[in-house]
């Protein structure tokens, strides 16, 4: 099978226009701060606005005064799925708004700093026609996530800074597909099936920033896995066949739950400042997608036509390369850009049009 993904993003921040965010690596969202968008996420060793709260909060002590950063992505995606028989289906979810907000303040003469971020680092949304060739697998769905991330940073020495924080994830998910009632009552038309749930979970993050000598900086950050159990009373199958309606009504409803494991993330970067005007950073990240292996659906009521089931995922760990630059033309104007390459974590054997993904080459 093949998926072709094309995207265009328009982002805005105070007095700064940025572009260049792709779709996602799996369900991970790119460029969730203004500075990260400009420099293709190569900001782990050199982030200098409040958005560094997400990429490397140890750098919050480098801020000279309190600050805020606002990011509002306007993301357009054009994805087409082609199955092994050559049948093509286009995703109808083309437009997304992805907001993010950060605030930070140094104190104790710059030896300490506090930061707070609210963003959407994971998410996906797709929609396909109810007569698509894979309608009994999926007709789309969505995973939405809001992350609240407070951090405290400490400048241990003039060269070394450390940070510790908490990650609170609040998520909602919905899975849609067509249900083949004809397999239960021959001759019956399909019904629309919807599974919805929401839940929350906690994790931790830590980071360091090290400046071995003038003009050089190293950054490293780690975010732990967060396990979210999604529960709800919103599982339903519409258009119940007439022979079953005395037992289940025209629409069958029950509760259910599933668990999603949002992965560990390791970010690393090395920045070089060859002059007062130029800054260049090289880096990358590792994402532990192998723990995102399956989604087990456990239903409160289990009639013969709705047994508990498992959606296999079994993704690969993802590695990414980043390079970004910043050129300071004056005290009020700078120009930035970058490049990153990501390999998709999805596998051919468990690929699903629910999450259209491919390798990414992106220039910003």
Q: What is the pLDDT of residues 134-192, one digit of tens each?
A: 899 899 999 999 999 999 999 999 999 999 999 999 999 999 999 999 999 999 999 99
What band does 255 get if pLDDT is binned at 50, 70 and 90? very high
35-65 burial, b at 16+ Cβ within 10 Å, e below that, comes to bbbbbbbbbbbbbebbbbbbbbbbbbbbbee
- Mean pLDDT over 256-262 rounds to 92
Please report the DSSP string for 79-96 in residue order.
EEEE-TT--EEE-S--EE
Do the Cβ atoms of 269 and 282 come closer than 8 Å?
Answer: yes
The pLDDT value recorded for residue 317 is 92
What band does 22 get if pLDDT is binned at 50, 70 and 90? very low
Q: Is the per-residue pLDDT at 53 higher than 70?
A: yes
% the chain with pLDDT above 70: 93
How far does the chain reach from its first CA to its final CA, in angstroms?
29
The pLDDT value recorded for residue 12 is 33
Q: Which residues contact 94 (CB under 8 A, 6 or more apart)?
A: 76, 77, 78
Alpha-carbon span 33 to 103, nearest angstrom: 12
What band does 24 get if pLDDT is binned at 50, 70 and 90? low
Q: Which of 27, 22, 19 is nearest to 123 (CA)?
A: 27
Please report the DSSP string for 255-267 in residue order.
EEEEEEEEPPEEE
The pLDDT value recorded for residue 17 is 29
Q: Which of 122, 208, 200, 202 is nearest to 164 (CA)?
A: 208
Alpha-carbon span 87 to 103, nearest angstrom: 48
Mean residue pLDDT across the chain: 88
R_g (Cα) of the chain, nearest Å: 23
- Mean pLDDT over 92-99 rounds to 81
Q: Is the per-residue pLDDT at 97 higher than 80?
A: yes
What band does 79 get if pLDDT is binned at 50, 70 and 90? confident
SS3 content of the chain, % helix, strand, coil (to 5): 10, 55, 35
> How far does Cα 104 stand from its chain's mean position?
23
Give tens-digit pLDDT for 270-328: 999 999 999 999 999 999 999 888 888 999 999 999 999 888 888 999 889 999 999 99
- Mean pLDDT over 116-133 rounds to 91
Q: Is the per-residue pLDDT at 16 higher than 70?
A: no
User: In the numeric block, which tokens belong to residue 99?
Assistant: 């907001």
Q: Which of 104, 167, 181, 102 is nearest to 135 (CA)?
A: 181
User: In the numeric block, which tokens belong to residue 18?
Assistant: 């940025």
């Amino acid at each position: 099978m093949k998926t072709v993904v094309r995207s265009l993003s328009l982002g805005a921040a105070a007095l700064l226009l940025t572009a260049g965010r792709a779709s996602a690596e799996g369900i991970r969202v790119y460029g969730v701060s203004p500075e990260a968008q400009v420099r293709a996420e190569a900001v782990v060793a050199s982030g200098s606005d409040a958005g560094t709260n997400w990429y490397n909060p140890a750098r919050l002590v480098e801020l000279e005064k309190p600050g805020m950063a606002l990011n509002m992505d306007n993301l357009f995606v054009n994805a087409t799925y082609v199955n092994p028989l050559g049948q093509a289906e286009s995703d109808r979810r083309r437009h997304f708004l992805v907001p993010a907000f950060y605030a930070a303040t140094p104190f104790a003469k710059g030896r300490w700093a506090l930061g707070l971020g609210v963003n959407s680092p994971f998410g996906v949304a797709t929609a396909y026609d109810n007569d698509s060739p894979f309608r009994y697998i999926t007709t789309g769905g969505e995973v939405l996530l809001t992350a609240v991330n407070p951090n405290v940073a400490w400048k241990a020495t003039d060269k070394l800074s450390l940070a510790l924080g908490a990650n609170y994830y609040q998520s909602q998910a919905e899975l849609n597909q067509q249900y083949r009632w004809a397999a239960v009552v021959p001759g019956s038309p399909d019904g629309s099936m919807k599974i919805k749930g929401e839940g929350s979970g906690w994790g931790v993050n830590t980071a360091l920033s090290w400046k071995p000598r003038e003009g050089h900086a190293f950054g490293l950050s780690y975010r732990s896995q967060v396990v979210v159990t999604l529960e709800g009373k919103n599982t339903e199958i519409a258009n119940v066949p007439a022979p079953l309606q005395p037992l289940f009504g025209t629409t069958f409803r029950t509760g259910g739950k599933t668990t999603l494991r949002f992965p560990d993330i390791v970010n690393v970067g090395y920045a070089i400042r060859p002059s007062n005007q130029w800054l260049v950073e090289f880096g990358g990240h590792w994402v532990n997608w192998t723990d995102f292996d399956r989604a087990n659906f456990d239903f409160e009521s289990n009639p013969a036509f709705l047994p508990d089931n498992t959606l296999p995922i079994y993704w690969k760990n993802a590695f990414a390369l980043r390079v970004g630059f910043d050129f300071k033309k004056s005290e009020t104007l700078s120009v930035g850009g970058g490049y990153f390459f990501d390999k998709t974590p999805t596998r051919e054997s468990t690929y699903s049009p629910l999450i259209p993904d491919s390798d990414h080459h992106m220039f910003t």
